[in-house]
Amino acid sequence: MELTAGKKAPSFSGVDQDGQKIALADFKGKKLALYFYPKDDTSTCTVQACNLRDGFKMLAKKGIEVVGVSPDDTSSHLKFIGKHKLPFRIIADTDRKVIEKYGLWAEKSMYGRKYMGVLRTTFLIDETGKIVKIIEKPKVKEHADEIAAGFGL
């Protein structure tokens, strides 16, 4: 299924860094920025997470919840959150079920080497569970502002 703005976001459930269950249904009636990234504590992923941390209060004032998703496990997420004082939850999608449901497990290439990985992408989902916007290749240093603008706020 090709995901586009205006379509229902695929439902998901997983566990966060604390082993707590988290699902799309938990955000009914709320705006959600569901951001997918490749790996905890790598340079670009850290810049993006810290930008979201720094813009977290602004996003919360606009009624936007932030949830990260990566294939790292809960202990990796706990270290990443602790080291960078991240105020949002991160889904430990070790089996890539959520990542694949959103069509973000794909072939990538770096320095001529091809490999499978997560496509850095953010889905903006409205209060009814509908996709408002898909931000492909987010500007990691400006991502919080990008999210607010994507919701028209």
Q: What is the set of active-site residues?
A: 45
Q: What are phi and psi of 64, to 5 degrees?
A: -105, 125
d(Cα 85, Cα 79) in Å, to the nearest integer? 10
The 3-state DSSP class for residue 145 equals helix
Kind and range of the H or E run holding 78: helix 74-84
Structure tokens at 152: 């028209």
Q: What are phi and psi of 149, to 5 degrees?
A: -65, -35
How many angstroms from the chain centroid is the CA of residue 145? Answer: 15
